[in-house]
Amino acid sequence: MAVFTPLDTPHGLGQVGDTLPNGVFGYIPYSEALEDNLACGVPSKLNTDSWKGKKVVLFSVPGAFTPTCHTNHLPPYLQKYDEFKAKGVDVIAVVAANDLFVMSGWARFEGCKDKIVALSDADAKWSAAMGLSVDLTANGLGIRTSRYAMIIDDLVVKYVEVEPAPGVTVSGAEAVLAKL
């Protein structure tokens, strides 16, 4: 099977059926100690190889605490957590170009606990390698991850869609649930 390259499609996206490229993300695993807002947690690494044999829903947002991401994108995934689990999803993860401490703080603020893993794709490097980054420098945000979603089953991409315009449609919880 092919691995994502920016030239796989006219838009630089990989295809359904492609093997997920290896990635290593910074993150702070949830622990009860994080209930104290003064706790920072222990920085860790998550390698996409850990998803071998698992069904993963990965969605990407341009930035933690940004209006659409904070109010319209992440919350429905959390609200529909039980529906994702009922469809056999092992891991739900959100990724953004923010650093791992910001992602952890955002996940805590949203109440994700151990339900949604908040991953840092520093400088959007992993997403950019698949053509899934966006330059928001004109808005003062720099290079960010695009707003997209994937269903990954045993490291094989079963669904990948990027939002065609501002807002949440094809990368939202409802759209992804419908594809499971």
Give the active site residues: 69
Q: What is the DSSP string of the chain?
A: --B--TTSSTTS---TTPBPPP-EEEE----GGGGSTT-----EEEEGGGGTT-EEEEEE-S-TT-HHIIIIIHHHHHHTHHHHHHTT--EEEEEESS-HHHHHHHHHHHT-TTTSEEEE-GGGHHHHHTT-EEE-GGGT--EEE-SEEEEEETTEEEEEEE-SSSS-STTSHHHHHHH-
